[in-house]
Amino acid sequence: MLQRIQTVYLLITSVCAGVLPHYLSLWGGSTDEFAFESIEYYVLFLASALLALISIFLFKSRQTQFVLGRFNIILNLILLGLFVYRLLTVSGETANSEKGIGLLLPILSIVLLVLANKAIKKDEALVKSVDRLR
């Protein structure tokens, strides 16, 4: 059942976390800084993309898919927290004080994961209601 809407949400999430950090800068200024230049950001983005891809192929186990989605949301919140921490600790006039569009990727991933989890829960409720009718 790969044709469900949560598959689309999870696929977009994996693209946002796996591909876009290579092209969108996190911090600007004199030189752009991308996610793959910092190991902790790169590992968290890669883990988020892999969790979304794994979750796509666990369509037979909706409960596991839902739990992986929640774990992925927590992972993106940690990534967002690291971004906020760095933004608050960097001084105002350093070379990388300008914010890039890549800082919004965890927020976009969280929104897509919430929508995917909502659709997974809806499918689970539908299956349970059909089981009650048997």
Global confidence as pTM: 0.86
The answer to whether residue 113 scores a pLDDT higher than 90 is: yes
Of 55-64, 87-96, 98-107, 124-133, least confident by mean pLDDT is 87-96
In a domain, 28, yes or no: yes
The answer to whether residue 77 scores a pLDDT higher than 90 is: yes
The answer to whether residue 129 scores a pLDDT higher than 90 is: no
| Dihedral of alpha carbons 71, 72, 75, 80, sign | negative
The answer to whether residue 119 scores a pLDDT higher than 90 is: yes
In a domain, 21, yes or no: yes
CB 121 within 8 A of CB 66: yes
CB 34 within 8 A of CB 22: yes
pLDDT of residue 26: 78
In a domain, 10, yes or no: yes
Query: Which residues in the chain belong to E strands, given as ranges?
Result: none
Nearest to 25 by CA among 103, 108, 94: 103
In a domain, 90, yes or no: yes
Beta-bridge partner residues of 99 = 27
pLDDT of residue 98: 67
In a domain, 134, yes or no: no
In a domain, 22, yes or no: yes
Residue 24: which domain range?
5-127
In a domain, 132, yes or no: no
In a domain, 110, yes or no: yes
Domain count, the chain: 1
Q: Which helix (H) or strand (E) holds 67?
A: helix 62-89
Lookup: tokens for 128 = 């349970």
More confident residue, 41 or 12: 12
